[in-house]
């Protein structure tokens, strides 16, 4: 599927919306270059941290949430980084590094040359999964 996937602005894969792991894995496989490795690491870390996580692809982005609580996290590719949106990120500690126009949302940008502090990221995932999520 990755060979036939259209990359939108910034290199974000255009993946049909769908619920479950399969569309998320299709998105990850279609992430260009080094971003696919980041996607696999993030997905594995999220599942390891919150085994009961619910997954879907909507708006060309993988979403992670808890049944009955809404979505707590989304992933999106940009030209120079992978953006991870925590939809209730303003409530997480320590504070996430990138702000948003939305007073509740905060971001983490993962660049090719940077490592990922997995313990810190897992802490944010655990905290976010315990909060009411975003319900579109």
Per residue in 80-107, pLDDT (tens digit) is: 999 999 999 999 999 999 999 999 999 9
Residue 1: pLDDT band with limits 50, 70, 90: very low
For residues 44-48, give the mean pLDDT. 98
pLDDT interval class at 3 (50, 70, 90): low
Q: Look at residue 10 in the predicted model and tell me its pLDDT.
A: 80
pLDDT value, residue 48? 98
Domains in the chain (CATH in brackets) are 9-129 (3.90.1150.200)
Mean pLDDT of the chain: 94
Mean pLDDT to the nearest integer, 16-27 = 96
**d(C-alpha 47, C-alpha 94), whole Å:** 21
Q: Which residues of 15-47 are buried (b: 16+ CB within 10 A; e: fewer)?
A: beeeeeeebbbbbbbbbeeebbebbeebbebbb
């Amino acid at each position: 599927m990755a060979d036939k996937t259209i990359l939108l602005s910034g290199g974000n894969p255009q993946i049909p919306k769908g619920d479950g792991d399969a569309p998320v894995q299709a998105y990850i496989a279609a992430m260009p270059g080094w971003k696919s490795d980041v996607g696999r690491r993030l997905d594995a870390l999220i599942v390891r941290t919150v085994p009961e996580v619910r997954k879907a692809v909507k708006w060309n982005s993988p979403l992670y949430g808890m049944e009955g609580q809404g979505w707590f996290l989304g992933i999106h590719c940009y030209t120079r980084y992978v953006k991870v949106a925590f939809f209730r990120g303003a409530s997480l500690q320590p504070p996430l590094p990138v702000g948003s126009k939305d007073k509740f949302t905060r971001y983490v940008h993962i660049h090719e040359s940077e490592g990922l502090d997995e313990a810190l990221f897992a802490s944010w995932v655990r905290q976010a999964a315990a909060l009411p999520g975003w319900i579109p």
